[in-house]
A and B are shown apart, each in its own frame.
Chain A
């Protein structure tokens, strides 16, 4: 074998200084977490430091997103090895936008948490774990290498393990056992499909996989895609694999539930979107019936679970699963329109689900109850809270002009086009989407009616005895309610002026459906088919 004919494997030039913006968020998050671990015994200071670090991360990601919007996908490869040998970080619009949304949500959560943290929570390492979780989520959104994605998944998982047992009450231990085992199993299944991908294609770089998957054995590749669907579906809590989410999301403190709802399942569904739509489109076409079935089942079963649930946060957990169903519908439709809808849906779900849990946490603190049967008459006590909850319920159900309406519109449009072209299964999916909107609206408005609208708790005389409410302290009022109002206002503004999001979703989906620009950014254009 003549080695002089081999292409060069090393990067001879220095990485442009501006390209470092793609790894800077991760560096900041990891260093910030280390610093916060040392500061964890100081009162109030960790929140300030964590807030500043996250603001820095937001600044980095905003500049990254602007750059990606202007110049197309951006890539940086580590350690002087050219791709596909070195690990690439590749940001396209979707990755950058989701990472930005995740950082914004994290900042809101840190502010909110400060409203209820006191002397007894000191030294629990909450802020360090939150930053580690953010590092894992950001890494998963920005990486361009499948094995690296696995590593970030595990960073995210171990941080969430730490968060879910913060406080260590028996209820949490119970939730954590189910959450821990099933999520660890999901990442192990992901590792399994990763090993098979490497055996089949000989590469793990995403841009390289796109090129090599076109000539691979379709049967083997579809098997791998099905395994990825299983692993990521489990992470995202798609219907038959969703049992761990309602079992665990209501057990930690509400602020941690909010962080989980905004970040964890969204990373799973984002990975599925990228793997099936961008990396293995041919296998996705073969798996389409299964995807349709999973999407329809998730869309229908999730809000039904929410209707049947009396525990407030468990009911919201089911609504989170319903959001995942919307993204799955987009993956099952797959054309430009469907992927646009799916991408937009993920962005909306990151913000809205977090806000729902934050408001639920405020309700629980005021009433001292977790069960909607023991709540009631809240409307008179706190008008802002009831308005926030109603706005978020309408946004979740997708009532215009709120944020959730636009992705549903894109999905319905794409589904109807394909249904009218003669694909009856897509017609069923459209019906499922509409039924999901109605059922979510029923579930949400019933929650609202039980908590706020009726006079008193269930079982009291004519339900007219108002329940006793704890009055909030000034810090809780300012920080907790303030953070929830800011996030809800963000959702409102995004829903009223969605043009920028439409633009981003369109370009991002185009890069996913036709990955030429993505491959060129990594520098593998000559290897592309």
Chain B
């Protein structure tokens, strides 16, 4: 495999050709906000719109998770255009995410909190109206707790459930109604979920969490 050299934020970085820019940056300790990117997936969904970067010679910012690295690429992870795109995407995510960090099991280990800290975004909705979905909490599984109100629809749990679990999780509905759920919308406890808990490990927020036994 050919090795290429590129520049990210003024730092020369070596990487295998064709690898995704987001991976390369993260492996080299350069943080780019991301939620939906899953290592090893060939066609990233690029759905969270948080990993925008600016590349020299490109007319507009691109998502780092879909961009393969090429020789001599000059990347900057911060620019006024990038910051604007990312902060808007982040605020949109927060606008229907239940923001009660104090009672959330993922408080301090939450990916949203990390993004807010790294990019100095406020953890509240300023410009947009808060739209709470008020969906019921699914407490039916003996080992998992699922709070759809905290879900950011990144799809990591759906993917990992296919890879390592029983494949009961999936997306349903459209638009505002979209949610991660099971076949026929049945509670996790009756869905054939074997409680492996892989989804709780990949969930970036407090939507899928394990129960303290």
Q: Do A and B come from one complex?
A: no
Give me the interface of B with A, judged by CB distance under 8 Å.
Answer: none
